[in-house]
Amino acid sequence: MLGSHPAPLSTLMDAIAGHQAIAAGQIVLEDRVLNGLPPEHRGIGLMSARDPLFGHLDVRGNVAFGLRARKRPAGEQQARVDHVMALMGLDGLGSRAVADLDTHYRARVKLARLVAFGPRVVLLDDPLAGLDAEAARSFTRLIARLGTAQEMAVILATARREDALNLACPIALFEGSQWLQTGTAPQLLDRPGDERVARAFGDANLLRGAITQLENDVAIVHLATGGTMEALAMPGLTEGALCTLCIRPDRIAPLFPSARGSLHDDQDGTLQAQLADSAHLGDHVRLRFRLADGTEVTAHRPPLAAQTGLTAGRPALLAWQPNHAMAFPIRAEVE
């Protein structure tokens, strides 16, 4: 679950786990309705920053806590704790005080404590918060192995797109407390349900305009900023309707004519712009352009394709292939 704000996702996870009452609807796990069941009878485990480790117990004691609370036989407890500690990379740390562990290993102990009692579903509420980049990558690999190794479903809630992408699994995208769309990363990038998904997941530029012509699945759009561009027509569009044209930064091809006189107002399929600034971000160069009415458009180019002389105020033409942009009905019209 990827959201613009972490708090609504935390509330949703609390509701699924049984710590938060729901006003309507059902929570169903394998055809079993969970509404009204206490958390301990749902077969669901929740890991969040609100659940601290127990300082008076060592690592092994923390991992075994859930099993002891459920009064599992001593032999079962020992075998299960040994197995889970090995799975979590905690071998040799059983007698350590949790206060002596770094943030990464404290997170592993919390996850091990949760997995030990064998829930059918594991809910992870922003578990990568506070981890450095290398620890976050290591913990993400651990999460990815968990579902297969333990035959359990794992649901991660995060406000960072990179965390969701690293798991390479279906993503439910939220805007605040509103669910927008669920799909794989390619589906959310290439077939977003509306402009909110295109903006939230693909960082798309949003340009308002009107449909002047529809040809099969291609819309001819006269933009409010000036200029006529083409885009794939999404369902619900009609000629004359207002629309939002969405174009991702990596799909824009900026052209820098050698002389200002080479820019013409009648060049359909291009937008006149001026370069506002540029920044080399390692894997790409971000170019920020300003259109005639002040609208800003961002483009991304590979570092090797970046040109010299990218000075502010340089005139440019922005272009893209029709199938790289999408035109959506204005949402008020759809509703």
Q: What is the mean pLDDT of residues 216-237?
A: 94
Of 187, 215, 248, the one marking the end of a domain is 187
pLDDT 10s digits, 33-51: 999 999 989 999 999 988 8
What pLDDT, on a 0 to 100 scale, did the predictor assign at position 334? 43
Same-domain check for residues 14 and 96: yes
* Strands 218-223 vs 171-175: parallel, antiparallel or unpaired: unpaired
pLDDT band at 335, cuts 50/70/90? very low
pLDDT band at 129, cuts 50/70/90? confident
Task: State how many domains the chain has.
Answer: 2
Beta bridge partners of 278: 287
What is the CATH number for 153?
3.40.50.300
**Residue matched to tokens 């769309």:** 181
pLDDT 10s digits, 278-326: 999 988 999 999 999 999 999 999 887 656 778 899 999 999 999 999 9
What is the CATH number for 226?
2.40.50.140
Predicted model pTM: 0.86
Same-domain check for residues 170 and 298: no
Q: How far is CA 320 from the centre of its chain?
A: 25
Residue 9, classified by CB atoms within 10 Å of its CB into exposed (0-12), middle (13-18) or buried (19+), is: buried
Same-domain check for residues 66 and 163: yes
* Strands 218-223 vs 228-233: parallel, antiparallel or unpaired: antiparallel
**Residue matched to tokens 């399929």:** 269
pLDDT 10s digits, 183-204: 999 999 999 999 999 999 999 9
Of 187, 217, 250, the one marking the end of a domain is 187
Q: Which helix (H) or strand (E) holds 243?
A: strand 242-247
What pLDDT, on a 0 to 100 scale, did the predictor assign at position 263? 55
